[in-house]
Amino acid sequence: MNRHRQRGGLYRSRSGVFLGVCKGIASHYDFSVFWVRMGFIVVFLLSGFWPVIGIYIVAALLMKPKPVKPIETEDEQEFYDSYVNSPRSAAQRLRRKFENLERRIRRMEDKVTTRDFEWERKFNA
């Protein structure tokens, strides 16, 4: 099987010729991209311009782009799916997470920089 295949479904390739649909399909099913493109061309010649172009564009809109970094955990898959479906909600989720981290760091700084901490440190030394 293709070792570059991502978990979680069919993705458009980021390095495809036109929107990455053929390369994504070839990668997912472990086919040669040449034969997938030839299949599209044959269907194009037999059915006409509009049906194939329409299906291709719909496929490009429905297929998510391949993640830049390989997805390794379910949390990463969940975040990627939420980002692709709603970048705004993913950004808000990240913002909440960093605000929580900032709050925790401030509490630690407050604890470490108080006079009581200094007296305890000197007393224990």
| 8 Å CB contact between 16 and 22 | yes
Q: Which domain, by its residues, includes 63?
A: 1-68
What is the signed CA dihedral for 45, 49, 50, 56, rounded to 10 degrees?
A: 70
- Which of 35, 68, 101 is at the close of a domain? 68
| 8 Å CB contact between 113 and 44 | no
* CA distance linking residue 18 with residue 37, whole number of Å: 11
Inside any domain, residue 121: yes
**pLDDT for position 8:** 53
Q: Would you give per-residue pLDDT tens digits along the chain (125 residues)? A: 444 444 457 778 777 778 888 888 888 888 888 998 888 888 888 887 788 788 888 888 888 777 666 777 887 777 777 777 677 777 788 888 889 999 999 888 887 777 777 777 778 87
Inside any domain, residue 80: no
Domain match, 63 and 92 both: no
How many domains in the chain? 2
**pLDDT for position 44:** 85
